[in-house]
Chains A and B, each alone.
Chain A
């Protein structure tokens, strides 16, 4: 399969809106960092070693396995910048791998739920992506691929320290599990400012998951484990699950409170945002993300009931700069991007919505 399959702006399974708590938890991700014992790690190896690592891992993933899984090999250095950026915007590869400082690649399963980055910060970064709140499923998929690879590759493993990684913050399980959560009510009521430090005291990290820096674009936060040593994978997943469930509960409580105290102000805010998304001619990333968050909340609260949530999940990804330019088939200046973004939203949202509106006013 060619790289183009992964560059289309059509929905893939992990963007869907399925399962319990999927109104708040948008997606789940588990990644395992692994290195081969035989080679120096990426901060010290030569490009020749990097190529050997890539060849060895890729050859194994092309073998038949049960259940059958088709992996597409994408060489980063041979991939043009814009296409690399699209893979970053989809969170399929990391910005570090996209830099292409040495020979590296990514192997992607056809449904994008499993991937292996080769020669990022570690020789292997196994990543498993699931829609909604599915920590166990995401881990099981990553774990089974890891177990398959481990039979054919000698991992750098230490009796005391566990899996050896480039960064001491990953040593041990090498696992980073994370959930992407949409927390508009906790953000509006500023409760998030006190929740984030509380989470970090529990060995977890909360931060904005889109955009630069710590600001949470579109009120979407990423909660992940900080500790990788001294706790088993199961214990880490359990703790992350507990914290996420508490967050969900608090977010729901805050939503009820806002809805009780100022229902018309909330309804107004949500419909204004819907108006902007469906009629604006220039949309910046920040405004689009804010409005998407409001409309999402409107759907969750049954104030808007004629819109498909998964369309919003997709738009959050496809509204980013590289996707817009790929879609337009040419480079776009920032102001041109705002125009293209507004057009994208109208195309994706208006058709569905107009039909319903027509019926309402009839």
Chain B
């Protein structure tokens, strides 16, 4: 079967749309399917809609060549969810899943969220602090490397101590007193 949209590439994806009770099926190639972002915002929001959507979209079983075998066998060390289980259920098992499956997530998030894959909203206060500290450490490390390169060892040592202090704060969950 040829893709219904470009009429060039073979159709590898079946997109099932259920809109107001009217079910339509479109057979698309992976390129056209990815371009049709709006299709993905039409899927039913019911708690069980997402798994149908994911299994419809990503041709995991039928086209092993398209999704590298490796990604399918990855298993989350914290909750034991395999990538295949995540796809079938359409749900993450734990926070660690996000790290484990991260190579696959960017594409998926872009499809689900109108082309976006990065959070832009509220940041919990404690994370706000640690993010700030991490950025500060990165900046101090850069300065320290510069100081070493310039053979400013006294300067480098004082930078190293400041980095140490900030790391201690990070370990304490971003609390200012570091204890």
Contact (Cβ within 8 A) B116 A227: yes
Contact (Cβ within 8 A) A203 B119: no
A127-167 interface code vs B (CB 8 A; 1 in, 0 out) = 00000000000000001001100110011111111111111
Tell me the smallest distance from the CB of A57 to a CB of chain B, in Å. 15
Contact (Cβ within 8 A) B94 A40: yes
Select which of A37, A143, A203 is within 8 A of B95 by beta carbon.
A37
Contact (Cβ within 8 A) A232 B47: no
Complex interface: stretch among B57-65, B78-86, B142-150? B78-86
Contact of A205 with B by CB under 8 A = yes
Q: How far is the CA of A193 from the CA of B21 in the complex (A)?
A: 12
Contact of A35 with B by CB under 8 A = yes
> Looking across the interface, which residue of chain B has its beta carbon closest to that of A149?
B124
Q: How far is the CA of A158 from the CA of B112 in the complex (A)?
A: 18
Contact (Cβ within 8 A) B91 A167: yes
- B109 / chain A contacts, CB cutoff of 8 Å: 161, 168, 171, 229
Give me the interface of B with A, judged by CB distance under 8 Å. Answer: 19-21, 38, 41-42, 45, 47, 50, 78-81, 89-95, 98, 105, 108-109, 112-127, 131, 173
> Looking across the interface, which residue of chain B has its beta carbon closest to that of A156?
B95
Contact (Cβ within 8 A) A214 B21: yes
Q: How far is the CA of A165 from the CA of B92 in the complex (A)?
A: 7
A-B residue pairs, 3 tightest by C-beta: A230-B116, A162-B119, A44-B93
- A171 / chain B contacts, CB cutoff of 8 Å: 98, 109, 119
- If over half of B's interface residues share one DSSP class (helix, strand or loop), that class is named, otherwise mixed; here it is loop
Contact (Cβ within 8 A) B38 A167: no
Contact (Cβ within 8 A) A44 B80: yes
Q: How far is the CA of A173 from the CA of B90 in the complex (A)?
A: 18
Tell me the smallest distance from the CB of B92 to a CB of chain A, in Å. 6
> Looking across the interface, which residue of chain B has its beta carbon closest to that of A202?
B41
- A37 / chain B contacts, CB cutoff of 8 Å: 95
Contact (Cβ within 8 A) A167 B90: yes
- B89 / chain A contacts, CB cutoff of 8 Å: 43
Contact (Cβ within 8 A) B123 A157: yes
> Looking across the interface, which residue of chain B has its beta carbon closest to that of A38?
B95
Given contacts A158-B95, A168-B108, A172-B120, 8 further A-B contacts (CB under 8 A): A41-B95, A44-B93, A159-B131, A161-B119, A167-B47, A171-B119, A173-B119, A230-B115
